[in-house]
Amino acid sequence: MAEGRKILAIDIGAGTQDILIYDPNKTMEGMISLVLPAPTLFLGERIQRCRRDLFFTGDTIGGGGITSILKERVRQGHRVIMMRDAAFSVRDNLEEVESLGIEIREALPPDFTGEQFYLREVNLELLREFFKNFGEDFNIGVIALAVQDHGTPPLNSSARKFRFATFERLLQVKRSPINFAYWDNEIPPQYKRMHSACQAAKEQLPHARILLMDTSFSAIVGCMEENTRPSLLVNVGNNHTLAVLFSQGEIDGLMELHTLSLTPADLREQIELFVSGDITNDEVFERGGHGAVIFKPHPLNELSIKVTGPHREIFRETGLQFEFAAPYGNMMMTGPIGLIKAVQAKTK
């Protein structure tokens, strides 16, 4: 990374996209930060207003916010047509996409008269124009992006098991959370959404380096502090809750649950079993989560517990002693700050 150039960090969640321009010549408090609606959120609102047939081209994006709307459009008798890359936004398996009544085409049908949509999560030109109004140049050396990507599992295998098995393999090699950050040439092939976001960024800013990370881990890295006390770091996201045991720079345990299936009592129980090493990968999976791996258990009363994420309020009802993470006083920048830390760690 060229000295003096900036890092543009964008953490794209289901509800918001959180943006930070890291400028080495400014204090953190003086850097530009934004919290905007997630791309799929306002895309879903546009689709909701449309009463015509739909055609989609563009990138593979997070499709959770639009899939149910598309299914409803099909049910109402509208044609929904998607080109291949766009269709992966709905499901990793295109046969499953077609089973929903969605047509997959290589081009716009000549007889199509409905509404056309271009899917894109990373719109750097829009940001460039916005920042120009405030005298902020776009001398960006690194674009750091976080998206949630389950990965494409082999046919007839569990997506939940596949996602967590990927995490476990990485941890067997190196237990650093930075191990979950990838330069553009390091992104595993199963991460279609990461590859798509990376390609979109390259097309718009070809001279910048690109770093990708899963949103679950960017938030965790944003919570990390430089101390020796063992910590439990928890990101309670819209879809996934990731809990990480962390001490002396290493991940001592990792557990991923499904947020919407959790009650405060469930969450407390599973966390207590997790930190003590008394829950297995299979038990977490059977409860509807993804899995757990524990290298070194810790007594719960010796842990510093830090919590972040859009559903973090659930922790108030667990009875556990914790702190809400707010790096530099801004909870919404936890993900972008995690991305900045990952870039800095990987460029040392």
For 108-123, what is each residue's pLDDT tens digit? 999 999 999 999 999 9
> How far is the C-alpha of 241 from the C-alpha of 316, rounded, in Å?
15
The burial class, CB within 10 Å (0-12 / 13-18 / 19+), for 36 is middle
Rounded Cα distance between 344 and 265, Å, is 38
Instruction: Please give the pLDDT value at position 228.
Output: 65
Angstrom CA distances, 67 to 40, 92, 243, stand at 10, 12, 28
At residue 4, the pLDDT reads 57
Angle between helices 39-49 and 64-75 (to 10 degrees): 10
Helix (H, G, I), strand (E, B) or coil at 81: strand
CA-based nearest residue to 38, from 141, 194, 187, 146: 146
Contact 296, 252 (CB under 8 A): yes
**CA triple 12-163-70, angle to 5 deg:** 55
Q: What is the mean pLDDT of the chain?
A: 92
Question: Looking at residue 83, what is its pLDDT?
Answer: 97
* Cα distances (angstroms) measured from residue 75 to each of 100, 266, 282, 294, 301: 9, 36, 37, 45, 53
Decide if 82 contacts 104 (C-beta within 8 A).
yes
Write the secondary structure of 259-304 as one string of H (helix), E (strand) and C (coil).
HHHCCHHHHHHHHHHHHCCCCCHHHHHHCCCCEEEECCCCCHHHCE
Q: Which two tokens stand for residue 53?
A: 């047939």
**Rounded Cα–Cα distance for residues 125 and 73 (Å):** 31
Give the β-pairing of 80-83 and 54-58: parallel
State the pLDDT at residue 226: 61
Task: Report, as ranges of residue numbers, the positions in the chain whose pLDDT lies below 50.
Answer: 1-3
Identify the structural domains of the chain with CATH numbers, from first to last.
6-37+123-216 (3.30.420), 39-119 (3.40.50), 221-329 (3.30.420.40)
Confidence (pLDDT) at 1: 36
Query: What is the structure's pLDDT at 257?
Result: 95
How high is the pLDDT of residue 128? Answer: 93
Report the pLDDT value the prediction gives residue 303, as an integer from 0 to 100.
95
Please tell me the predicted confidence (pLDDT) of residue 151. Answer: 87
pLDDT for res 329: 86
The confidence score (pLDDT) of residue 100 equals: 95
State the pLDDT at residue 212. Answer: 98
Alpha-carbon gap, residue 103 to 48, rounded angstroms:
19
Contact 222, 327 (CB under 8 A): yes
- For 255-283, give one letter per residue: b (16+ CB within 10 A) or e: bbbbbeebeeebbbebbebbbebebebee
Residue 104 class from Cβ within 10 Å (0-12 exposed, 13-18 middle, 19+ buried)?
Answer: middle
Taking each helix axis from N to C end, the angle separating 192-204 and 124-132, rounded to the nearest 10 degrees, works out to: 50
Q: Are 242 and 217 in contact (CB under 8 A)?
A: yes
Instruction: Please state the φ and ψ torsions of residue 341, each to the nearest 5 degrees.
Output: -60, -40
φ, ψ of residue 67 to 5 degrees: the values are: -60, -45
